[in-house]
Structure 1
Amino acid sequence: MLFGKLMPREGNFFELFNQHGDFIVAGARSFILLIQNYADPVLRERYTGEVGAAERQADRVTAEVNRLLHKTFITPIDREQIHGLINGMDDILDLLQDASETMSLYDVQAMNDDILRLGDLSAKCCERVQHAVSLLPKINVPANAEAAIKTCEEIDRLESDADRVMRSAMSKLFREEKDVRELIKLRAIYELLESISDRCEDVANLIEGVVLEAS
């Protein structure tokens, strides 16, 4: 009992989740601006930098959560859930940064409608993740639990939409693109963008598990 009293209890995990969620949304919004303004080299560099900055700030939050896990005796939710949530959220921003940097490394010259659609779906998924995470501190309130489940279901639908756009984009790419190098570039970009919505769905599934255990 004495050991339990000496060890920190609860921690500020939910606050850190919220901070990370805010960085995810900031990174996603900068990414959308990047692909919308891709033809402008100055704006392209600016928004790529903003995505990278959001990712680095989120990394610090992830590190703090993992540090707290080793110091906190009693956590507000299961330790594995905390670990899975923060690392799943971190994967989302990593992929946003990977996508923005890959466009530059591969010297992609222009965006197309499929990239814009996939980017938009990814950004919407990111915003839904942030909203679902913001409900976790009071998830024992039935209205919040219901809202969280509904938001997770929205993420699932958006991920399915991204899958359909991805399949259509790949089919069009292999039918119409004659330049093999351009095909390889665009395929990599499509796959990264679709992976963002996949990771958002993974986080949504974890949140659903937290909600069901709390209900």
Structure 2
Amino acid sequence: MFGKLLPREGNFFELFNQHAGYIVEAAQAFSQLVANYNNLELRAKYNEAVDHAEHAADRVTHEVNRAIHVTFITPIDRDQIHALINTMDDVADLMQDAAETMALYDVRTMTEEISRLTDLSVKCCERVRHAVSLLPRIAEPATMEAALKTCEEIDQLEGDADRVMRMAMSKLFRDDTEARELIKLKAIYELLESITDRCEDVANVIEGIILENS
């Protein structure tokens, strides 16, 4: 009788999709922030947009974690649900951290490396959204293959970001960069590269879900 009183499936996949959408929204707003950095009005506008998307993602994360405790039968393992939503939330948090760090450190100009890492971060977030959208149908062989392929693409993008990061660091320490600017840029590079790292972590969680549920 008790089991009949509790939700049996919940709307976890829909919540995952909502969260992934907010991750992409944050990434695209951050990309516009970088592209329009010299325009103070637009910089403030896109900074606010990043914050808005991150806060919306937080609300979805809280809803998923609440639903885990009140749903009797979940569509996938509870630990997998918890790992996926919280790893996804880390991506949104890092995006906000990068935007806030730029403001707090008073970064004056954008570098080519920031632009390249930002572009890779956006692509990673978009691939995360695509992989998440496939989860409800991973029992279908073609969908499972498509999801695994998308996870591989995220891994490749993360590898590209690693290479850009190494070159960016080499350039920072090789060139005659003023000490304070070096510290600022190093922090930004590391944050942006960590976004792609966390997207790769999301891909790893999704791969685990696929392998255990296919």
Matches of 1:96 and 1:66 in 2, distance apart? Answer: 21
Superposed displacement of residue 78, structure 1: 0.4
Question: Residues 175-195 of structure 1, C-alpha deviation per residue, up to 9 Å, x if partnerless?
Answer: 114311000000000000000
Note the 1:162-177 alignment, pairs <5 A: 162-177=161-176
- The corresponding residue for 1:107 is 106
**Is 1:94 paired with 2:76?**
no
SS in 2 for 1:110: coil
- The corresponding residue for 1:66 is 65
Amino acid at match of 1:35: V
- The corresponding residue for 1:133 is 132
Note the 1:116-155 alignment, pairs <5 A: 116-155=115-154
Matches of 2:40 and 2:130 in 1, distance apart? Answer: 33
SS in 1 for 2:2: helix
SS in 1 for 2:174: helix
Matches of 1:207 and 1:32 in 2, distance apart? Answer: 25
Matches of 1:8 and 1:105 in 2, distance apart? Answer: 45
Amino acid at match of 2:148: I
Question: Could you list the runs of 4 or more consecutive aligned residues of structure 1 that deviate by over 4 angstroms after TM superposition?
Answer: none
Amino acid at match of 1:8: P
Question: Residues 1-40 of structure 1, C-alpha deviation per residue, up to 9 Å, x if partnerless?
Answer: x332222111000000000011011111111111011011
Amino acid at match of 2:56: Q
**Is 1:200 paired with 2:199?**
yes
Note the 1:3-42 alignment, pairs <5 A: 3-42=2-41
Amino acid at match of 1:84: A
Matches of 1:195 and 1:10 in 2, distance apart? Answer: 33
**Is 1:181 paired with 2:180?**
yes
Matches of 1:190 and 1:74 in 2, distance apart? Answer: 42
- The corresponding residue for 1:43 is 42
Superposed displacement of residue 201, structure 1: 0.2
5+ residue gaps, structure 1, are none
TM-score (norm 2): 0.98
Matches of 2:176 and 2:127 in 1, distance apart? Answer: 34
Matches of 1:72 and 1:85 in 2, distance apart? Answer: 17
Q: 1:177 to 1:57 in 2, by over 3 A?
A: farther
Matches of 2:129 and 2:98 in 1, distance apart? Answer: 20
Matches of 1:15 and 1:77 in 2, distance apart? Answer: 13
5+ residue gaps, structure 2, are none
Matches of 1:63 and 1:106 in 2, distance apart? Answer: 30
TM-score (norm 1): 0.98
Superposed displacement of residue 73, structure 1: 1.0
Note the 1:77-88 alignment, pairs <5 A: 77-88=76-87
The 8 Å contact of residues 27 and 51 in structure 1, kept in 2 or not, is answered as yes
The 8 Å contact of residues 177 and 183 in structure 1, kept in 2 or not, is answered as no
Amino acid at match of 1:125: C
Matches of 1:46 and 1:178 in 2, distance apart? Answer: 30
SS in 2 for 1:60: helix
